[in-house]
Structure 1
Amino acid sequence: MPSIIRVHLGPQSYNILIAPGSLDALGAWLTGHPDAPRPATVPPPPAQEPALKLGKKVLVVSNPVIFRYYGDRLLTALTQAGFAVSHCLLPAGERYKTLKSVQKIYDAALDARLERSSTIVALGGGVIGDMAGFAAATWLRGINVVQVPTSLLAMVDAAIGGKTGVNHPQGKNLIGAFHQPRLVLIDPEVLATLPAREFRAAMAEVIKYGVIWDTGLFETLEKLPRLDHHRFLAEIGPGETHSPLEECLIRSCQAKAEVVSQDEKEGGLRAILNYGHTIGHAVESLTGYRQVNHGEAVAIGMVAAGQLAVAAGFWSAAEADRQLALIQKAGLPTQIPAGLDPDAILASLQTDKKVKDGKVRFVLPTQIGAATVTDQLTTAQVRQVLPSL
């Protein structure tokens, strides 16, 4: 059953469409024509909302693996809707999330003669989405971007909210811009080809939303027998309108939409979305973005933040144990990689984007479903937790 979630940002408001088969409806949604070709499972664009009024030129940015699976379907959907489509393929992987890769998008945009009314469509995971979004934010001082995430991690996190960027050798996402998409289109069916490790990693972000925002989501995850593979969440039960997977998508996207709608550029509330990311980003960076992927690093970071929260009196050991149990149920790591120096992690924290006035800000849970941001933790407190991971 399709779901439409609205991200309310005034003139920059946009929809998140979650519907099986929606990949084939992208052209219809971008033109805004209710009678445009689309699968029966996908609703027409909402008639009461202004048309997107996009130009005719579209550049699809993807990676070779994803494009091999879904590129033809997407190009067909766009071409049938009357768009002039070109594409740019970039290598997959966090280590390619660099300005050098973005330069390739610029070159493709120049070859396609993109105009200010043109659109970049990001077809892929969070790395592709971040780079395509950053290229759109900076090409001709800003053109349209549409996010078509193909990984669970991108669906529940990276594709929503307008954060774009690339990594610097000294830290993750240090170069970037806020640039909201015109549409986020999520087709749950594409997750059938997602590698099991990537699915598990994304469950860290789903668990995150339960910890910091949605108690009901957290309790739903606790009731599910398995969280470590797509097949355990994809079946719709008797009398249900959504599979557990779709329920996770809807509630996670709703949580992020609510937070972003209240705080677009991380002036306050939105910072809670960084739960688990402070130490997590340090682990990613220090392992060269090769040994530990983003979701696995966030899982480790959440365990660390949970222990810090207990030590500082923000929440109880019982709540930390409930979080730990969910992370383990998802098959995610709970300890920093062997040989990673705690002093190196502490040094890396100082380059984090969330440092303010020289103080590292941590997102800590105060109960299941709520969190706060603090800069009152001492280096000694953090150092005490790291060896236990």
Structure 2
Amino acid sequence: MYVAVKGGERAIDNAHAWLAEERRGDTDVPELSIAQIREQLALSVNRVMAEGSLYDPDLAALAIKQSRGDLIEAIFLIRAYRTTLPRFGTSRPVATAHMACDRRISATFKDLPGGQILGPTFDYTHRLLDFKLAAEGDAPPPAPQKGDAAPADVPHVTGFLNQEGLIEEAPADDTPPPDLTREPLELPAERALRLQALARGDEGFVLSMAYSTQRGYARNHAFVGELRIGAVAVEMDIPELGFAVEIGEITLTECETVNQFTGSKTQPPQFTRGYGLVFGQTERKAISMALVDRALRWEELGEDYTGAPAQDAEFVLYHADNIQATGFLEHIKLPHYVDFQSELELVRKLRRDVQDRADAAAAQHPEAAE
């Protein structure tokens, strides 16, 4: 906090008041409601929920409004609020095979049970500004044409490869994974912990790491085996009842990538997996997460370390968290008067020493000075 600035607490209070005024903007323009942000800026809301590790669209929309649209600040607000909440228990792992899919595509199999569901996507738009959206009172969009409903059970595409033994088996492990929201990150990190860090990592950073693997910095040629977006039920075991009950429903984006693997001393040639799972419709993040997840698995698969940044768990995991990065970055704008004064005196002393040596050399050899 700026405790040393002129004016002290009074200056800080005035800064907060000015911030509130700037956040509101022109009072002749209607104020944004939480519902408007939640419904019309849904992708921003989804990102704040994912990187804030808290599934609550209304709170995410409130954080976006309070932060003036600064999503990292909004994520900070959500994470800070999350620490105040009690935890009553843990839910069962969600069954994404039972997802009610709004979108489901595969880049590996054209014809798959349940079919390809394009869903709401920017993929086929022309990226041209739609000036009709700037009109006052825009007309409601035409009703979409609904196709056949997706089946209740939508098997994963990788299961087809698994039938022929062409893709690695997902190891069965009932060990409770570590909880990154309660315990600090420690290395070496098992895959479950790495996936948690990537799921709440900064989308831009994870995207850049994923892009680097595609450009050759990890030997990571991936296909999107399946990308699906939809609602899944959340179930929780109730000890008093002796069985699980459904406590709600959340929207998730899941991505499984299929990567070629030539084999190693311990593994036969086969396809391997990368995995991403994120709150809301956040497909760019889910795909990026899957690519980076696969790059980080080089050691367990017996591959060579090529020195690629995306293969370095310490580099990726310790720099993916935008809240930690923001805190460390922005602390340098806080007062460092004492530190700077000490460095200033050091530089002045070093300059005096250099000048003294130059003067001494000139006195010993006056002809050189001339």
Which bracket does the TM-score occupy, shorter chain normalised?
under 0.3
TM-score (norm 2): 0.25
* Larger RCO (CA under 8 A, 6+ residues apart): 2
TM-score by length of 1: 0.24
Kindly name which structure, 1 or 2, has the bigger radius of gyration based on alpha carbons: 2
